[in-house]
Amino acid sequence: MSKKLIIYHGSHNIVETPTFGKGNPNNDYGLGFYCTEYLNLAQEWACDQIAGGYAGKYELDTSGLKILNLNGKEYSIIHWISVLLKNRKVTLSSDIESAAMYYILDNFP
């Protein structure tokens, strides 16, 4: 059974075909093609203080996909932080900061 999800992507450019790997490697989740279910959020992402942009609308067939929903009842904010820590470059200035980061990564995958 096919399940469709409408998603939006904000960009300075019109993106006809989403392509993985062309994003900013320093974004929260790496080079992914960032999308949202909320048009107004995509519009916000598309613009900065200098220029406007575009919000593209896409239909994603999710049948056969395993989707990680960090808003699900089995997850907490610490799981979301763990995902960010796996993908962000962080500077840790103390042993306690390093220990905390590895604790989160080891216990909240």
pLDDT of residue 1: 63
How many angstroms from the chain centroid is the CA of residue 74?
A: 19
pLDDT of residue 101: 94
pLDDT of residue 84: 85
Residues facing 59 on adjacent strands: 6
Kindly give, in sequence order, each residue whose CB lies less than 8 Å from that of residue 44, ignoring residues fewer than 6 positions away. Answer: 10
Q: Could you tell me the mean pLDDT of each successive run of 10 residues in the chain, 109 residues long?
A: 88 88 75 88 89 93 87 89 84 93 93
d(CA 97, CA 36) in angstroms, rounded, equals 31
Amino acid at 71: N
pLDDT of residue 56: 95
pLDDT of residue 67: 85
